[in-house]
Structure formats: C-alpha cells, structure tokens
Amino acid sequence: MSLFQALLDPQISMRMIHFIGAVIAVGAVTATDSMLIYLHFKERFSQALSKVSLILSMVIWVGLAILGFTGAFLIYTNPEIAQGTFFQVKLALVSVIFLNGIILNEKIYPRFHDLADEWPEQTDAVSEFERRAAIFGVISVAGWWTIMLMVHLKPYMPF
C-alpha cells in the first residue's frame, strides 16, 4: 500500500490528524508552562509572556478540539477501542488534564496577565501566584506527557 493509498483510508487519516492535534496541544502546553518557570528567573519579560500565554492557551484548546473530534470519529467507527483498559486509563488522564486546563484558562492565565506589571518587584501576590501556577502547570505538563508516553509505549504495556 502506498502512502497516498494509506492516507485515503479514513482511519489512517483520522489517526494522523489526531496525532497532529496532540502535537499542537502538547507543544503549546510545554511552551506555556515553561514560560512560567522562565519568568521565575527573568522577570523583565512578564508583559510579553503574559500576552503569549493567552495566545498559547487558545492554541491548546484548538489542539484539544482536534483531539476531541478525531477521537470521537475513531471511537464511532471502531467502538471496541473504548472497551480496553488502556483507553479507559488514557481517558481518565485526559479528563484530569481537561479539568486542570479549565482552571488554567479561567483562573491562572487571566491572573498572570493581571500580575504582569508587578512581576519585576516580586510582590507577595506574584509569589503566591507562582506557587499556585506551578501546581497546575506540573499537573498539565506531567499529564500531557504521560499520555504521549503511554501511547508510544502501548505495545509494551500490560493493559
């Protein structure tokens, strides 16, 4: 089967698009959460990075939307996928990441934007924000990368 023929297969095409959505989301998550770590050491970039984080937040949601639509198609056309333990563990992690993402999007990133002017002074509000953002950021990055590793290591997993 040639590459062109393979891409005409809806299952293969959707899996490719699903993977692309994952790359988009994981890349944006990693960049956004890395910026918060970077800001701890380079406070002067707070204004610029607060604006970039809002844009990257939308990129993450685009990646999630792609994952949702393609995932729904893959499950609809191949329902036995949803019966396996692997899928159920992955979906549980996705649910945690999704809820964490809502908190990041609705609470953390707007607060980051509000505090950007105070960042160079390292006020108490900035310090408190850094602690909270770190918790949600670690959940986000660890969750996304755990799922990516799970998918790639699936042939070696017992479930």
pLDDT in tens, the chain (159 residues): 677 777 788 999 999 999 999 999 999 999 988 887 777 777 777 888 888 888 998 999 999 999 999 999 999 999 999 999 999 999 999 999 999 989 988 888 888 888 888 877 878 888 888 888 889 989 999 999 999 999 999 999 887
pLDDT at 134: 86
**What gap in Å lies between CA 28 and CA 85, rounded to an integer?**
28
Global confidence as pTM: 0.84
Q: How many domains does the chain contain in total? A: 1
Largest CA distance in the chain: 62
Q: Is residue 1 part of a domain?
A: no
Q: Is residue 140 part of a domain?
A: yes
What one-character-per-residue DSSP string does 46-57 give?
HHHHHHHHHHHH
Residue 74 contacts residue 14 (beta carbons within 8 Å): yes
Q: Which residues of 31-68 are buried (b: 16+ CB within 10 A; e: fewer)?
A: ebbebbeebeeeeebbeebbeebeebbebbeebbebbe
Q: Is residue 3 part of a domain?
A: no
Instruction: Print the domain residue range for 65.
Output: 10-156
